[in-house]
Amino acid sequence: MDTDEAEGPGRPELPGRPEEPDGPEEPDGPEEPDGSEGPVGPDDVLHRSYRRVRPVPAQTVLLMVSGALVVASATLMASTSEPAGWAFAATATWIVTLVLHGLDLWWTRTLVTPDGITARGRLRTRVRAWHEVYDVRLEPGKRPQGTTAVRWPAYLYDTGGHRVRLPHLDEQQLLDPAAEIARLRATAARRGLYSWSPRPELEARIARAARRRTAWQRAVVTCLVLMVAAFVLDTALLFTDQAAHASTLVLCAPLAALAPVFLAWDRVGEGMWRRAARRA
């Protein structure tokens, strides 16, 4: 699972209204489930379907079109000549990319009912009844410059400390996701479906999981850097009398280093957290 480190014990405050993405104004509420009619009552906030309602970003459209062209070109080359390994790899990569983007656009959604919250992901659907919900939070996402990634994704934490991403409950589909989450919690609490009280042991578990995710992210980045360095070294060996070992240098060595690098980053992160806790 992808994200920044969670805060320490105590309920983190929801951020204010995040900056709206560029583009035309859209409705500030999620679509009602199909078949709903009539005015929306105060408790109908527990009958919600959060899905993509805003236009697809131009970068996504360009990616899908280019992927379709690559797949078509590779398929044509495979049918007119002997298939090459790179053609199979390119075709498979782009097909997977297109399928994942298509699922994200037209399949993923978050459903809220009086029975609980359902997070329908690309490949997995997870359901939590209201009595299993510990909290719903907006957390800062990692959005590289120039991308269309979500700045404030929403996550559900259950009473076991597990985190579930809530698709499309974010600033790209809602003008004020923080206010929407506050309405969900308030309505569920008013109906006796949900109550919140701080649990230090659960907050500690959530914070520990966040630090482990950060360690994994750092480990992956480190291994990618190792792959680039190994590729440069392997390329340099081509101009010498020494034998090149591309698969061993570029792939096997960085993958073998992933687990030790993760343990090292995890230990560093825990040490930084303990020092910060002592200063606090």
* Whole-number pLDDT of residue 60: 73
Q: Any idea which fold 1-52+108-197 has?
A: PH-domain like (2.30.29)
Q: Where are the domains of the chain?
A: 1-52+108-197, 58-104, 201-279
pLDDT at residue 93 is higher than 90: no
Least confident range from 19-33, 123-137, 174-188: namely 19-33
Greater pLDDT, 244 or 33: 244
Q: Backbone phi, then psi, for 31, in 5-degree steps? A: -70, 145
Contact 168, 35 (CB under 8 A): no
- How far apart CA 190 and CA 188 sit, in angstroms, is 5
Q: What percent of the chain has pLDDT over 70?
A: 74
For residues 58-78, one letter each, b for 16 or more C-beta atoms within 10 angstroms of the residue's C-beta and e for the rest, the string is eeeeeebeebeebbeebeebe
**110 burial class (0-12, 13-18, 19+ CB within 10 angstroms)?**
buried
- How far apart CA 17 and CA 110 sit, in angstroms, is 20
* Whole-number pLDDT of residue 141: 80
- How far apart CA 146 and CA 60 sit, in angstroms, is 13
The reply to whether the predicted model has a pTM over 0.75 is no
* Whole-number pLDDT of residue 216: 95
* Residue 135 β-bridge partners: 157
**24 burial class (0-12, 13-18, 19+ CB within 10 angstroms)?**
exposed
* Whole-number pLDDT of residue 42: 46
pLDDT at residue 155 is higher than 50: yes
Q: What percent of the chain has pLDDT over 90?
A: 41
Q: What is the mean pLDDT of residues 111-128?
A: 94
Task: Locate 268 and state its tokens.
Answer: 């560093």
